[in-house]
Chains A and B, each alone.
Chain A
Amino acid sequence: MKPPRFEYLRPDSVGAAVALLNEHGEGARILAGGQSLIPMMNFRIAQPSHLIDITRVPGLDAITDEGNAITIGAAVRQSTVEYSPVVKDRCPLLVEALKWVAHEPIRHRGTVCGSLAHADPHSELAATSLALNATFTVVGASGERQVPAVDFFIGPFTTVIESGEMLSSVSFPVVPAGSGYAIDEFSRTHGNFAIAGGVSVIQLGADGKVASATLSMFGMASRAFRAFAAEERLIGSMPTAEAIAEAADLALVDVDCSADMHGSEEYRAHLGRVYAGRVLTSAVARAQGGSK
């Protein structure tokens, strides 16, 4: 379990990193926390010719409070976000999501952007970015572009980031005051990848009806996804137990659930409905309690 030969490069700006990516072509890979890339290299599933380490690019390790959003640079470690007072105050859902990601030592090295760029279908952060409508800043040789979360993830380990591009930051909108949010998942052992999980953010109107709702699911299909049909069922309704149960039943409409030794398609579909129901129920309860 040793990687093949590779060159290690350490640029000092995003521009330089992008230039190196373009110079070395398909064989070049960004190295962030290495918590997914290095194991893949040890298994020789990934055999990059050049590793471009971005973790020491000045400024890329910043967490910035933009007022209505929190922007996280590509070198920011997961644990830095997890323990950031600003994030805790303005976007506590992200902190809760991070508690489910791997184990503490892995979060010390792994980055938030690395997890998003990696686009594991089991990723809590991908689902959280979907539920919060995060915006991704992708930089290439011809400049940068902003991509909304719903467009970012394409399939298993695949995003809209093209060869020669990198993710330089991600912006998570702050959780609006008075909204309820929840993340929950089922994984067979602590810190392992989820078999099924959901994230939801819910705002209630003055009449107690659901004013806005997002629900995203992870761990169960080829990528994290928004459950729009479930959201639509709730928006404009009183969030009764029946309404939530009906919404949960809609969470997996048209979804092809994945299967592996930890769970068949049917089991994943069952769990998905259970967790859709659980996170919707918790998010509603928190919204009703006025918690942030």
Chain B
Amino acid sequence: MGLGGMNKLNWIGRSLPRVEDKKFLMGRGGYIDDMDLHGMLHVAVLRSPFAHAIIKGMDTSAAEALPGVVAVITGKQAAELCDWMPDFNPEPNLHKWRVLADEKVRYVGEGVAVVVAESRYIAEDGRDLIEVDYEPLAPVPSARKAQEAGAALLHDGMESNVAHDSTLAFGDVDGEFERAAHIVREHVYWGRTAAQPMETAGSVASYNPGNGMLTIHANSVALTNFSFLVAGTLKIDSNKLDLVPMPAGGSFGSKFWATRATVTAGMCSKFLGRPVKYVEDRLDHALSCDHHGSEREYDIEMAISADGEFRALRLVCTDDYGAYFQFGLGTHGNAMSQVIGPYDIKAISYRAVGVLTNKCQQGAYRGFGSEVHNFALERLVDKAAIELGVDALELRRKNFITPDKFPHKIPGGNVYDSGNYEAVLQEALKDARLDYWRAEQAKAREEGRYVGIGIVTQQERSVYAANEWWFFRGAEGVSSVPESVSLHVDALGKVSVTMYSTAFWGNSPETVAAQVLGEELGVNPDEVSFAYQGTNKGLPGSGPGGSRFTVMITGAVQGASAKIRDKAIKIAAHMLEVAEGDLEYVNGGVQVKGDPSQRKSLAEIAIMPRLFKHQLPDDITSGFDADMVYDHPYTTLPTADRSDLGIFYPMMAHATHIAVVEVDVETGGVKFLDYIAVHDCGTVVNPRSLDGQVIGGLAQGVGQALYEEFVYDDEGQIQSSSWLDYLIPSAMEIPEVRLGHHETPSPFTPYGMKGGGEGGRMHAPAAIASAVDDALKPLGATRATHLPLTPERIISMVNGH
């Protein structure tokens, strides 16, 4: 799409070095912890050592007496200073949460008081002096235990710890299962992990009692169109809060809507009338970030016809949510968008059970629930191939939605915009040297070594819409997910871009905008400058998340550019004394159609509306700026009876991943021999930065599959609160990935782009598990369905447990 009759692209599709890199590599990116305001105070949070306990009393006198401590705010006081925390779950009254626990703690690490002091050191010294009187309650350490009769209740207002249990079904599920020639069943467990950005969540708040303005610089509230909710929690007027986005040193979902740091700093600053910084340290982040990832169990089954056609899918998914339910069923809405994977499955039944437990709450982590579903589905497909005695790849191919079927409406209602799954698979196989690896595998087996190959074909939904948050419930919900941009062309024709929301969190918003401006206005991407605007005067922004930013910022830049071009043509028409209709915008200037000799450059045009009002026609106002608020290009509302969930996540990317591993059956260790990843994210803006996204996501997928886990014991004590035990794979554990990109443009987006921000993590776990199974096949091992596949777990699989 793009410009009418667009010629070949000049900038999109090129691996330009990222615009953002230089400032960050030079240490001049301006991270939150580098920010220092005059008279600024620092916060340390006192955290609960118990998983579940009543707070009977607290003695803060010794802390308050410590020189350098300015204030101690207990949970009780915080409950007066602040309202409940913003929460997107559909029944917020049942399980509300506060910035600090006031009456009861519900997980190890939940904050119970803050110490505000002249330095973080003193704040932590003060923290050690607070005495809390806890009355421990029976812990609820897992979703299973939470559902047992007699389990302690986390929230008094609830009848059980089950916060949600409902089923969405589409098509003739029961009929398909009755008619099925084969039914294949699988049980899958996905361990609790979380994004581990180098930079944790943090905020610097500064309250001006003179005008009542609270300015909060934050790296962790991308969803800025909901900033009024933060104002509500802080009990100030929404127009008196300016939430200023800072670049985030990594998010992976965890900074999508992380408000605790912002509310903590904001509360303290408003209370004391002084600037206050709160940046989570690694322990704060591990124990009590806003976003642990999913912890889930699946019972999943598929009805298959006699000739191997996937007919229907039925699953029960039990989520161990932790203590609160801030995003409700967003992670399931997300999974529903690609519930049938790349396969033409006709009917589905999806039961989501949400259970509250004494653990840190769940939120977003690269994939936001869809990656878990991908894992469960591909494990099931692999098992189907074994049970049917057919080749797993052929079974997948047979069930692929074919290119002629797009746009394809799936059971439930979402639409897959475009795709060519066979082509992506072909491209992966072309590089995979499967014959070589099969020969190596045979040779290795003779030597008592175990090599395995895993191949998965999976979806990668992108460009999320808000509907996924609420369609599980009856009510209507929010449906706006806009992204905005402002363009400013100065008197010399130089272009500046203002973005809204926390656009940068390790992705490439500036690079994308610059490359698109290269196409749209013909400017050199290197010469564009960037600024970020806070919420106070800001246009609506929803930020990155759900792999949406590339498409959304492109739409916004494209729309704003069109306004700039229109004005440029108007001005040039006057300058060249030619009718507007005879002019066109080409290569950074306006010229007479077909006559490049009659031309005005953007620089020549730009000075006019800036300085020469009376040399222009009356209807041309001064200034050369354009705002654009871009809405999601393709969504619809669900029907009231939920017989159709509507279109909510239609830009459907796809990938084939092939993992080749060797398993040491004496130790349970897994090592990579090869890895191929081919993605189709529509039109690629910048292959190099997309490569980075895939490799980074893949590394997190490797972590999920083999290493990372927040382990809580039976008492609800967390065992892996530091990186000593929460094992993040390094370059030594990550395979050398051979990457490919296939391009099937989306018919619904600018230039045909799709999102690719969550790629590797959605695919690597299933590919690795599949490869481990293949390696262990000759030993009659049990299947790799429980993540992470720790070495000990692999040994017990080998032993048939």
Contacts and interface: CB of A to CB of B under 8 A. Distances in A.
A267 interface: yes
B720 interface: yes
Contacts of A260: 719, 725
A190 B791 contact: no
A189 B790 contact: no
Given A2-B120, A262-B790, A190 B667 contact: no
A274 interface: yes
Interface in A19-43: 43
B124 interface: yes
A263 interface: yes
Interface in A39-60: 43-44
A190 B720 contact: no
B327 interface: no
Given A4-B125, A260-B719, A274-B666, A189 B730 contact: yes
Interface residues of A, number: 24
Contacts of A211: none
Nearest to A271: B667
A49 to B, nearest CB: 14
Given A2-B124, A262-B790, A274-B667, A189 B283 contact: no
Interface string B128-149: 1000000000000000000000
Nearest to B725: A261
Contacts of B666: 274
Contact of A189 (B281, B711, B719, B727): B727
Contacts of B281: 1
Interface string A238-277: 0000000000000000000000111110010011001000
Contacts of B720: 261
Interface in B578-600: none
B299 interface: no
A186 interface: yes
A238 B792 CA distance: 33
A195 B791 CA distance: 10
A193 B707 CA distance: 14
A188 B790 contact: yes
Given A1-B283, A264-B792, A267-B792, A44 B730 contact: no
A1 B282 contact: yes
A189 B792 contact: no
B499 interface: no
Contact of A270 (B120, B283, B795): B795
Nearest to B282: A1
A188 B282 contact: no
B669 interface: yes
Given A4-B128, A262-B790, A186 B669 contact: yes
Interface in B648-691: 666-667, 669
A63 B273 CA distance: 58
B118 interface: no
A192 B283 CA distance: 19
Nearest to A268: B792
Interface string A1-26: 11111000000000000000000000
Contacts of B669: 186
Contact of B121 (A2, A262, A264): A2
A145 B474 CA distance: 79
Interface in B696-730: 707, 709, 711, 719-720, 722, 724-725, 727-730
B725 A262 contact: yes
A5 B125 contact: yes
A81 B282 CA distance: 32
A3 B122 CA distance: 10
Residue of A189, A191, A271 contacting most chain B CB atoms (<10 Å): A189
B6 interface: no
A263 B791 contact: yes
A192 B727 contact: yes
Contacts, number: 61
Interface size bucket, B side?
A: 20 to 34
Interface string B715-754: 0000110101101111011000000000000000000000
A46 B283 CA distance: 17
A184 B720 CA distance: 25
Contacts of A189: 707, 727-730, 732-733
Nearest to B723: A192
Contact of A190 (B121, B125, B730, B790): B730
Nearest to A3: B121
B282 A44 contact: no
A192 B709 CA distance: 16
A186 B791 contact: yes
A3 B729 CA distance: 28
A186 B727 contact: no
A5 B121 CA distance: 8
Interface string A186-221: 101111110100000000000000000000000000
A195 B664 CA distance: 15
Contacts of A264: 792
A189 B282 CA distance: 19
A195 B669 CA distance: 12
A4 B792 CA distance: 39
A261 B719 contact: yes
A262 B669 CA distance: 12
B786 to A, nearest CB: 14
A188 B125 contact: no
B707 A188 contact: yes
Nearest to A196: B667
A270 B707 CA distance: 20
Contacts of A193: 724
Given A2-B121, A189-B730, A274-B667, A44 B128 contact: yes
B164 to A, nearest CB: 30
Contacts of B709: 261
Contacts of B792: 262-264, 267
Contacts of B667: 186, 271, 274
A2 B115 CA distance: 14
A270 B791 CA distance: 12
Nearest to B709: A261
A190 B795 CA distance: 20
B117 to A, nearest CB: 11
B538 to A, nearest CB: 34
Contact of A188 (B128, B283, B711, B791): B791
Contact of B732 (A190, A261, A263): A190
A219 to B, nearest CB: 12
A1 B723 CA distance: 14
A193 B724 CA distance: 8
A267 B795 contact: yes
A44 B725 CA distance: 18
B124 A190 contact: no
A193 to B, nearest CB: 8
A111 B222 CA distance: 44
A181 B121 CA distance: 48
Contacts of A4: 121, 124-125, 128
Contacts of A5: 121, 125
Nearest to B667: A186
Interface in A151-200: 186, 188-193, 195
Contacts of A1: 124, 281-283
Interface in B252-295: 281-283
Contacts of B724: 192-193
Given A2-B124, A189-B727, A189-B733, 7 more contacts: A1-B124, A4-B124, A44-B128, A188-B707, A191-B730, A262-B792, A271-B667
User: Which 7 pairs, one residue from A and one from B, show the smallest C-beta to C-beta distance?
Assistant: A190-B732, A267-B792, A1-B281, A2-B121, A261-B719, A261-B711, A274-B666
21 contacts: A2-B120, A4-B121, A4-B125, A4-B128, A43-B283, A44-B128, A188-B791, A189-B707, A189-B730, A190-B732, A195-B791, A261-B709, A261-B711, A261-B719, A261-B720, A261-B725, A263-B791, A267-B791, A267-B795, A271-B667, A274-B666
Interface of B: 120-121, 124-125, 128, 281-283, 666-667, 669, 707, 709, 711, 719-720, 722, 724-725, 727-730, 732-733, 790-792, 795
